[in-house]
Amino acid sequence: MPSVQAFASASRPEHTLPGSGRCVLSERRALQLGLALVVLAYVPIALVGLPLFGDGAYYFFKLAIDGVPVFPNLRLGSVLAQLPTLAATRLTEDIGFLRHLFSLTYVALPVGSLLACWLIVRERRPELILFPLLFLVANQINFSAVSELLFSLYLVWPFVLLAALAPNRRLTLIYGAILAPLLLLLHPLGFALAGFLTIVALLNARSEGLIERSWTRAWSGIAAAFAVSAVLRVISTLIGATGYERSLAEPDAAVRYLLPETLPQGLLLTWVAVSGGLAALSLAVGWRRGRRLVEDRLLWPAFMLLPLLGVPVAVDVLFGEGIKLKAGLVLPIALLLMGLSLGIARRPSALAAVPRSPRLARLVLAAALTIALLATAKSAAWWTATHGLMNATASAETSCLAFGPEEPYALQWPWMAIIDDWATPMNALVFRPPWAIPLLLPGDGCRRLDETGQAHLGSWIQRPAARLEARFGPLRSVGAP
C-alpha cells in the first residue's frame, strides 16, 4: 500500500480547533487510544492463527509443503499477501514461525488499511475515520482472512479518502494507476468497486477544485483505467467463471452468500449502516444547534448500541454459531460508507466549518470497543477449537483418525464448529503437539493410507505421508513408501 506520509505532513487547515489546548490534547490521546485498541484487538487473531480458518489453511498448506502460492480461479492479485511467507519458506522450515508470519501478514491488511486512512484524514478531516472504522465493525462477522473481496476493500478505502482529500497529489494518482489493474486480478465482484471508483475519478475530473488542466486530464485517465478494469472483470467472469462461481448465481446460493448466518449478525450490519447514515447527517449539518441535537440524541446513542449489539454476536461465535467465510452484504455496506465519506468530504460548508468534533473520540472508542469485543471472541473461539483438535489427535490410540460429519467425537461439541470443516485435516498438521500424532483423513483415507502411503487430506489434496511427516512433524505411521 503506497505511503501516505507526504499527505499526512501537509499543512493544517486554516480553521482552528475548538477548546483549550489541553482538551484538544486529551481528545487526540483518546482518538489514538481508540485506534490502538483496534490494532491490539488484531494481535490475538494473529497469535492464535485465525487466518488459517477455512481457505486460509489450504493457502498455508501449499506454501509450507510445496513452496508455491495459491491463486484460486486465476485471482493472481491474491499472491501479493502470500509473498512474505513464500520468501520465508526459502529461509526456514520452522512451521511455527511460518504460521505466525502468514497470520501476521493477513492481519496486517485490515490494520494497515485503517492506519493509512488515519494518516490521510488526521490533519484535515479526522471525523472521516468513523467510516472505515464502521466498515471494520461490519467486517468482524467475516472469518476469512484470505478473501480477495475483503483484500480489495482494504486497498480501496485509502484511495477513496485520498481522492476526496488529496486529489491534486501525485501519490493519489499513482495509487489509482496501481489499484485499477489490481482490482481486475482479485475478486469477481471487484467490478462493483472499479465501477464505483470510476465515478469517483470522473467527479474529480469535473471538480472545480481541479483548476489545472493537467490534473483534469490525469483524473480522466484514472477514470478510464477503472472503467476498463470493471468491464474486463465482468467479461472475464462471464466467460471464464468456474463451476463454483457460477453456482453462486443461483438464487438460493446467492442469498446464502450475501446474508449473514444469524439474526444478531444481521442486526449488527443493519445498525452499522444506520450509524454511518447518522454520522453523515451529523457532519452535514455543521457546527450549529442542529448538529448538537443529532449528536446528543441520535449519533452517540447509535454508537453506544454497537458494542451492545456485538455481545450476542460474540456469544454466538463462542458457541459455534454464525461461523462463515464471509457475508457478501459487507460489500454494499462498504460502498455505502465510502459514498457517505465522499459526500461529507466534498461539502463546501463542511470543509469550511467542521474542523473536528470534540465528541469524535468517544465515537471512535465505541466503534473500537465493538471491534475489540468481536475480535477477542473470534480469537478465543479459535484458540479453544485448535486446542481441542490438538487434544483429539494427541489422545487417539490409532495410527489414523477417520474424519467425517460425526467423527471424531471430540469435534462434535458446539464450540468446535469453527474448525470442523473441510480444512480440518490440514489444520490438524499445523496445530499439533510436538510428539507423534495420527493423520486425520476424510472418507476412506485411512484405508488408502495403509494401501498406498498416500494421505488424501481432501478430494483434490493428496501428498505422501512421509513427506507430511518430514514437513510438519512426526506421525505414528507413514504407511507404505
Give tens-digit pLDDT for 15-42.
333 333 344 446 778 788 889 999 999 9
pLDDT above 70: residue 391: yes
Give residue 25's pLDDT.
46
pLDDT over 80 at 185, yes or no: yes
CA-based nearest residue to 156, from 189, 203, 107, 202: 189
Instruction: Give the pLDDT of residue 6.
Output: 46
Judge whether residue 355 has pLDDT over 70.
no
What's the mean per-residue pLDDT of the chain?
Answer: 86
pLDDT score of 15 = 33
> Largest alpha-carbon pair distance within the chain?
79
The per-residue pLDDT for 206 is 84
Q: State mean pLDDT over 63-69.
A: 93
**Dihedral over Cα of 91, 96, 97, 103: its sign:** positive
pLDDT category at 230 given cuts 50, 70, 90 is very high
Which of 288-297, 322-331, 379-388, 413-422 is predicted most confidently? 379-388
What cell numbers appear for 479 in the block?
Answer: 504407511
Question: What pLDDT does residue 390 have?
Answer: 93
Burial (Cβ within 10 Å: 0-12, 13-18, ≥19) of residue 3: exposed
- The DSSP secondary-structure symbol of 400 reads E
Share of the chain above pLDDT 90, in %: 56
Band (351; pLDDT cuts 50, 70, 90): very low
C-alpha neighbours within 13 Å on the C-beta side of residue 426: 25
User: Residue 401, SS3?
Assistant: strand
| Model confidence pLDDT, tens digit, residues 299-342 | 888 999 999 999 999 999 999 998 988 888 999 999 999 999 99
Whether the pLDDT of residue 431 is over 80: the answer is yes
Q: Is the pLDDT of residue 296 over 60?
A: yes
The amino acid sitting at 409 is: Y
Q: What is the DSSP string of 147-181?
A: -HHHHHHHHHHHHHHHHHH-TT-HHHHHHHHHHHH
For residue 122, pLDDT beyond 80: yes
Q: How far is CA 420 from CA 101, 304, 378, 411, 474, in A?
A: 24, 34, 15, 6, 23
Separation of CA 98 from chain center? 20
Specify the pLDDT at position 124: 85
DSSP assignment of 405-463 equals: TTBSGGG-SGGGTTT-STTHHHHHHHS--SS-B-EEEETTHHHHHHHHSEEEEETTEEE
Least confident span in 59-63, 139-143, 217-221, 368-372: 217-221
User: 403 by DSSP, 3-state: which?
Assistant: strand
Mean pLDDT score, 418-445: 91
User: Which of 458, 434, 442 lies closest to 95, judged by CA?
Assistant: 434
Q: If pLDDT is split at 50, 70 and 90, which confidence band does 479 have?
A: very low
Q: CA angle 105-106-110, nearest 5°?
A: 115
Instruction: Report CA-CA distances (Å) from 295 to 150, 277, 282, 301.
Output: 31, 12, 6, 8
368 contacts 35 by C-beta, under 8 angstroms: yes
Residue 451 has pLDDT above 90, yes or no: no
Q: CB–CB of 210/252 below 8 Å?
A: no
pLDDT for the residue 294: 62
* pLDDT above 60 (res 136): yes
Residue 347 vs residues 210, 295, 334: alpha-carbon distances, Å: 15, 19, 20
Number of H helices, E strands in the chain: 21, 4
* Model pLDDT, residue 212: 65
pLDDT of amino acid 42: 97
pLDDT for residue 59: 96
DSSP 3-state of 62: helix
Q: By the 8 A CB rule, do 352 and 15 touch?
A: yes
**80-94, 351-365, 389-403: the lowest-pLDDT one:** 351-365
Angle at 322 between CA 321 and CA 328, to 5 degrees: 170
| Helix-, strand-, coil-residue percentages of the chain, each rounded to 5 | 70, 5, 25
Residues 6 or more apart in contact with residue 78 via CB below 8 angstroms: 69, 70, 71, 72, 146, 148, 151, 186
